Amino acid sequence: MSESITLSEICISASSKAWEGEGEILATGIGLIPRIAAGLAKLTHNPDLMMTDGETYLISQPAPMGKRDISHDLVEGYMSYSRVFENLWGGKRHAMVTPTQIDSFGQTNISAIGDYNSPKVQLLGVRGFPGNFINHKNSIFIPNHSVKTFVSSAVDMVSGMGYQNKDLSNGKFEIKLVVTNLGVFDFNGKDDSFQLLSLHPGVSVDEVIENTGFDVIINSDKATPMPTDKELACIREILDPQGIRNSIFGE
């Protein structure tokens, strides 16, 4: 591809690997980068993914970002809210989310910052996080990797459970992948510790350590793989032809 590869495209490609090898499960990308990443996974390494149009239908081809002609959607079936929950409760869903805080246990917060009884900032509330994290695996995308997000102590309000309570789940709890503007991570280090898998171009290990409020296991300092030509074509021509992804990092 003649155009230079952007950070958003690197993050989309890396995030799409969250659904690799997972077969026929419901993929939910919450937010722009996760949504494009889920679509990329379906178009490349996991065509069996179930994906909705964001409303009521299962579609066989991911919907592009921005305005579109819905008459072009390839509808496979009806996907009511109740059917979404059947997949959710059965562990047949994998969502990628963007919490406001995450701690060393993998606990996540989207509810409030500060003392819960008198918060500095009121956020969304817990929304679907409690049920999601108990019932199925999740991955995480963080656009601004900093100690404000990767906090030094426990999150201010536990919206999504962490690894220290994983025995309370239905056995499906897992944070499979964490992708940020700095690199790719998971919680597969010793005793479910947070570990670095790869660094994005121009990022150093010291930068990761400085911007994470808890210890990071340096499993690898290799470079994050660049998107392939096929992935770039899918992103640029099918999934996000309007370039909305560029708004995430101001590219």
**Over the chain (251 residues), what is each successive 10-residue block's mean pLDDT?**
84 98 95 97 96 87 86 83 90 96 97 93 92 95 98 96 90 95 97 97 97 96 97 97 95 83
Does residue 157 lie within any of the structural domains?
A: yes
Examine residue 162 and state whether it is found in any structural domain, yes or no. Answer: yes
Instruction: Give the pLDDT score at 55.
Output: 80
In whole angstroms, give the CA distance from residue 210 to residue 190.
21
Instruction: Establish if 1 belongs to a structural domain.
Output: no
Domain membership flag for residue 243: yes
Give the bridge partners for 75, in sequence order: 59
92 part of a folded domain: yes
Q: Which domain holds residue 234?
A: 7-247
Q: Which residue carries 């919490």 as its tokens?
A: 99
Domain annotation covers residue 187? yes
Give a yes or no: residue 40 inside a domain.
Answer: yes
**Which regions of the chain does DSSP assign to beta strands (E)?**
26-29, 57-59, 75-78, 93-97, 101-102, 108-109, 112-113, 121-122, 138-142, 175-180, 183-186, 195-199, 217-218
CA 143 to chain centre: 10
What is this structure's pTM? 0.94
| CATH number of the domain residue 132 falls in | 3.40.1080.10
- Grouping H, G, I as helix, E, B as strand and the rest as coil, residue 178 is strand
User: What does the pLDDT read at residue 170?
Assistant: 82
Report if residue 88 sits inside a domain: yes
The pair phi, psi for residue 40, each rounded to 5°, is -65, -40
Q: Cβ atoms within 10 A of the Cβ of 170, count?
A: 11
Q: How many domains does the structure of the chain reveal?
A: 1
Q: Which helix (H) or strand (E) holds 111?
A: none
Q: Residue 29: phi, psi to the nearest 5?
A: -100, 110
Q: What is the pLDDT of residues 126-159, one digit of tens each?
A: 999 999 999 999 999 999 999 999 999 999 999 9
